[in-house]
Structure 1
């Protein structure tokens, strides 16, 4: 029976999810000889701010991938041709270029509408017949080939050539509709693929989302990480808290801070900067994971 670990972030950015996930995976491998399979159902990177890494990974895998999942897959030494099945939904965002707006004399338009990055392209990997994966892409008409936004047409045109299907959208309603078509199929089919193959799966969350995909409901332990802090929850308590919160806040995305405020953690660990102390605390965490794993086996 597969054992599932869910690691989520206490903060929107820089919580330390990948750092902790890699350490958990390393300790399982070195101390017990057990491989932990990483799975990141949803992710996003910024084309402009992460271009060097995105380009490097594209040259190697011919695909857009979460920078985090590439690290985790390499840590796990996962033997797959392409780690899209470890990262079924990935989005590239891109910022507007102030230069273009200032040059045209529409500076206020930039500050009113475009100081935040917008979506450029999003991939959905779905496993269909005979365990074969197919990639579907959705492209934002607002930003693609628009000189006011950073683009990388070489990458996108390469993706278009091998895509199972390309969809474009022009507004939020169309974007949501396309996600409804693909998101659940992608995250569920790929997780089911690994569930049948692996003994331990580590699901890394997205930013500070408390519930990025339905597969996290299969977790046997929930771990939240932030600066200097690791907290754990029994899944039943954690997901009951989410369900209760959503009954009152139906229109709001649930983030981890919402849950920490209403549900007391089961255990807490201090995540130190010092490597020696850090290893000791993570070892305690892994012991906690092992206790739960032994109960279900």
Structure 2
């Protein structure tokens, strides 16, 4: 029986999901545990995470910083299987707003949909991968970065995509079914699977909640652990019914349901530095086997 651990973030950015997930994976592997990694949906920024543009060019497949981190730890990772959906964001050119409203620039920076310039969708069922370019967004990027993105698009043979259709496709229930089947493939021969959520969502998609054993909500310096997943699922469904998609944000669960336990996470210079709090978490995970 595989233990599924969901790692979610309290904040939209910089909660520390990958830092915690990678630390836990590395430690479990050192114990001889067979660990799988899954990040169904990923997003990264072409400006603040520019090395991912270079890495994607080198690999010939769109890949983000978090997945590259896991690849460096787990040797047998198949990028398209471990991360079926990836989106590359790029900030709009601030100079374009000087003649209109620089305040609108700040508003647009908060809107991810206005920044998605490239995307990848990989199918683990037929082993196919498609890359998309969203022309309206990419044309609004500052020229030096836009030239790099055009070069990457050509390398990936990205096809012209409609962003609204793409987002609607991601919300389709058949996508959830396929992503669950990808997870099942990853878990073959594994004892523990670490699943990383997207931004501040409790899970990357609703169906995933039904099959997890442990939920870890990460914030800078501390984590909240939920073991009663049935209560989590019930509460999240109520929140979504009341608030719509916003009800899926981790903060609403924390405000309603007391975690099974909490603990601090120590600051470290690297994931290979010993940390008693990660060791304690690893023991907690293994006690659920």
Same fold (TM over 0.5): yes
CA positional deviation for 1:67: 0.6
CA positional deviation for 1:4: 0.9
**Whole-Å separation in 2 of the counterparts to 1:203 and 1:33:** 19
CA positional deviation for 1:12: 1.5
* Structure-2 residue corresponding to 1:93: 89
**Whole-Å separation in 2 of the counterparts to 1:269 and 1:110:** 40
CA positional deviation for 1:256: 0.7
Report the CA distance shift for 1:248/1:79 in structure 2 as closer, same or farther (over 3 A): closer
**Whole-Å separation in 2 of the counterparts to 1:232 and 1:147:** 40
Q: Give the greater-gyration-radius structure (CA).
A: 1
* Structure-1 residue corresponding to 2:161: 168
Report the CA distance shift for 1:264/1:112 in structure 2 as closer, same or farther (over 3 A): closer
Alpha carbons 2:135, 2:160 under 8 Å: kept: no
**Whole-Å separation in 2 of the counterparts to 1:43 and 1:179:** 12
Alpha carbons 2:9, 2:250 under 8 Å: kept: yes
* Structure-1 residue corresponding to 2:27: 27
1:270 aligns with 2:264: yes
Alpha carbons 2:122, 2:130 under 8 Å: kept: yes
* Structure-2 residue corresponding to 1:218: 211
Q: CA RMSD in A?
A: 2.7
Q: Trace 1:1-297 onto structure 2 (pairs within 5 A).
A: 1-30=1-30, 32-51=31-50, 53-80=51-78, 83-102=79-98, 105-107=99-101, 111=105, 114-116=108-110, 118-129=115-126, 133-146=127-140, 150-151=145-146, 152-160=149-157, 166=159, 168-169=161-162, 172=164, 174-180=165-171, 183-184=175-176, 187-213=179-205, 214-234=207-227, 235-273=229-267, 279-293=275-289
Alpha carbons 1:121, 1:140 under 8 Å: kept: yes
With 256-265 and 139-148 compared, the bigger mean Cα shift is at 139-148
Three-state SS of the structure 2 residue aligned to 1:27 is helix
**Whole-Å separation in 2 of the counterparts to 1:148 and 1:271:** 38
Three-state SS of the structure 2 residue aligned to 1:37 is strand
Instruction: Flag structure 1 segments of 5+ consecutive residues without an equivalent.
Output: none
Report the CA distance shift for 1:155/1:183 in structure 2 as closer, same or farther (over 3 A): farther
**Whole-Å separation in 2 of the counterparts to 1:274 and 1:178:** 40
**Whole-Å separation in 2 of the counterparts to 1:253 and 1:134:** 33
Alpha carbons 1:43, 1:206 under 8 Å: kept: yes
Report the CA distance shift for 1:77/1:251 in structure 2 as closer, same or farther (over 3 A): closer
Report the CA distance shift for 1:274/1:128 in structure 2 as closer, same or farther (over 3 A): closer
Report the CA distance shift for 1:248/1:278 in structure 2 as closer, same or farther (over 3 A): farther
CA positional deviation for 1:97: 1.0
CA positional deviation for 1:195: 2.6
Three-state SS of the structure 1 residue aligned to 2:137 is coil
